[in-house]
Amino acid sequence: MFSIGALSQHTGVKVPTIRYYEQMGLMSAPERTEGNQRRYGRAERERLGFIKHARDLGFSIGAICSLIELNNHPNRSCAEASEIAASQLVYVREKIASLTRLERELARISDGCSGNGIADKCYVLASLADHARCETDH
């Protein structure tokens, strides 16, 4: 049995965030001391670890809710959990692709401008003003 602060230290999730997760229904309401303070056990620590890990992987609160639900129905869990993970993977890959396009554009803009102020107009500012200079869509 440990306090919210101890749970926070064990998992690396901040105290107010733990309370927020409880409010959002990710964590169920724990036991309380006589003085109304939260006391957690091993199961709760594991669940919070699960949540943190999923959040670190970019899963939304909603998706994690679904995953937790699935965990409670082991017979139909695997296919649906796979689907959630797969769609998260698609989402991440799309983000990478779009950021990579931006990176190319930014690198081009950054390179074009030596930063010495010699050019009569700053290449960075000019590039931002004029989308036609771009090589990729965004």
Among the listed ranges 2-10, 19-27, 31-39, 100-108, the one in contact with a second copy (CB under 8 A) is 100-108
Confirm or reject binding of residue 84 to a second copy (CB under 8 A). yes
Within positions 47 to 66, which residues make up the interface with DNA, using CB under 7 A? 55, 60-62
How many angstroms separate the CA atoms of 110 and 133, rounded?
A: 13
Confirm or reject binding of residue 81 to a second copy (CB under 8 A). yes
Size of the site for DNA (CB under 7 A): 21
For residue 40, the 8-state DSSP code is B
How many angstroms separate the CA atoms of 20 and 35, rounded?
A: 20
Shortest separation between residue 84's beta carbon and a second copy, angstroms: 8
Which CB sits closer to a second copy, 15 or 68? 68
How many angstroms separate the CA atoms of 19 and 97, rounded?
A: 35
What CA dihedral angle connects 48, 54, 60 and 66, to 10 degrees?
Answer: -70
Confirm or reject binding of residue 12 to DNA (CB under 7 A). no
